Structures are given as structure tokens and as C-alpha cells.
Amino acid sequence: MQNAPARLYNGMIAPLLPFPVRGAIWYQGESNAGRAHQYRKLLPLLIRDWRAAWSQPSLAFGIVQLANFYARKPQPAESSWAELREAQNMALRLPHTGLAVAIDIGDASDIHPRNKQDVGARLAAWALARVYRVKMEYSGPSYRGMKIDDGSILLHFAHVGGGLVLKEGQAFAIAGEDRRFVWANARVEGERVRVWSPAVPRPVAVRYAWADNPDAVLFNAAGFPASPFRTDDWPGLTVGNLTP
């Protein structure tokens, strides 16, 4: 029974502890999508535990974010998969961690998408840049802040990678104080993205690629996709799952 407590750890991790390792790759999360708030605790705990087990406080830890899956929805909606991706992104608060975004290379009908080559390339870029100190871009645009500006919202990013690239598609949603999201217009302005909708004259929040199977439209010139994000912290589908 693979799901018995400690069975996987004792069978597959503990035997490796005598051997030196440079880092780890973690590609998991689908079965936790209904417990995303719990995952905010579980993933950092796992990283700290493995680092302690190998006596390597700075053990490099690469995380593959959940790929796109399920049928697309016509209107913005809450998403447990988006909340799990957010929890994976939060793990980057720990040092020596990295994230490979995969929302553009998944398969709506296959929970285990076949495209592992791009996943590997993105993980390799992170490892080369952050572990082996090769000077290169390794991440897609990373949301850093917002500003409400004359009926629109300006989004600020790190890792613009030579410039932001906005492709065709519908991925940005905007809401006012009523917390009702609608699809929004977006355009690149230097290293920022302006988001607006005539239906929301007084916006307060933006979400990007906040769906099980989002339309990935924001990249940088280096070809890396932006991680899904939201500017709000409103309760979602999994907010009650705070404890194991």
C-alpha cells in the first residue's frame, strides 16, 4: 500500500540517505489539488525534512508546477488547481528553491502530459543559473506588485528576460469590490502589464491564468511562461484545508 504512512519514505528515500546528492526535483501535486492550503505547509516541511536528512541546509530543490489539465471554462472561476500552483509558488520563499512553470505544455485530457522535454529544459535552466552560477535567464515573468491607475491596474514583474511578450488569448481577469471577475484586456507597457475592462470601472484585483487549464499568454523574450498569480487573497475553494 503505497499510501500507508511513511511507506514511500522508508522504501524510496531512506535507502538513498548514505549517498551524496546535489539537489532534488519534485514533480507532484495533482492528488493534493483539493487541499491546496494544506500544501502550503506540507511542501516546505518536506523540503526542510530532506535537507535535514541529508545534512544539507542548502540542498537545491526544483519544483515542477502543475501543468494545465481538464476542459477550459468559458468564464473566470475559482480553481483548486490554481490554488495548488499558488502553494507551489509560495515554496520559493525558502532559499535554494526553483520553479518550472508548465501551464503551457500540459494536456487537457491527460493528467500526466507527455511533454517532459520542455519541463526538463526549464528545470535545467534553473539549475544552471542558480546552482552552477551560469549567467542566463531561468524564469518567466514573476509578479511583484500592482498599482490601481485610472480605472486600470498596472502589474509589475521581475524576470522580464529582455522584455515581456503578450500572446493571443484570454487569461487576465479583473474584479471590483464585488469580487466578481470578468475577462479583461491587457497590454504590455515596458516591464509592466496594464489590465482593464469597461465592465469594471473601479478595479481592485487581477488574476492571471487562474484556472485548471488556463490560456498561457504572458512570456518573456527568453521564452519562459509567467507563473499564474492573483493580486487578491480572497478565500477560494480549499481555504478550509489548513491542517493535515
pLDDT digits (tens, 9 = 90+) for 139-160: 999 999 999 999 999 999 999 9
- Model confidence at 241, pLDDT cuts 50, 70, 90, reads low
Domain at 40, CATH number: 3.40.50.1110
Backbone angles phi, psi at 177, to 5 degrees: -65, -20
Residue 235 lies in a domain: no
Question: If phi over 0 gives left and psi between -120 and 50 gives alpha, with beta otherwise, what is residue 151?
Answer: left
- Model confidence at 244, pLDDT cuts 50, 70, 90, reads very low
Domain end, chosen from 74, 98, 131, is at: 131
What pLDDT does 240 receive? 63
Average pLDDT for residues 66-78, to the nearest whole number? 96
Q: Which of 113-122, 221-230, 234-243 has the lowest mean pLDDT?
A: 234-243
Average pLDDT for residues 205-225, to the nearest whole number? 98
Q: Cα-atom radius of gyration of the chain, to the nearest Å?
A: 19
Q: Does 102 share its domain with 148? A: no
What is the three-state SS of 51-89? HHHCCCCCCEEEEECCCCCCCCCCCCCCCHHHHHHHHHH
Q: Which domain holds residue 67?
A: 9-131
Q: Does 179 share its domain with 223? A: yes
Is pLDDT above 60 for 30?
yes
Residue 236 lies in a domain: no
Q: Does 125 share its domain with 154? A: no
Residue 90 lies in a domain: yes
Q: Name beta bridge partners: 183.
A: 173
Q: Does 100 share its domain with 21? A: yes
What pLDDT does 243 receive? 47
Domain total in the chain: 2
Is pLDDT above 90 for 242?
no
pLDDT digits (tens, 9 = 90+) for 98-155: 999 999 999 999 999 999 999 999 999 999 999 999 999 999 999 999 999 999 999 9
Residue 117 lies in a domain: yes
Q: Does 98 share its domain with 151? A: no
Strand order across the beta sheet in which 172-175 lies:
182-183, 172-175, 205-208, 229-230
Domain at 170, CATH number: 2.60.40
Average pLDDT for residues 197-201, to the nearest whole number? 98
Q: Does 125 share its domain with 169? A: no
Among 88, 99, 113, 114, smallest CA distance to 35 is for: 88
Backbone angles phi, psi at 87, to 5 degrees: -65, -40
Residue 53 lies in a domain: yes
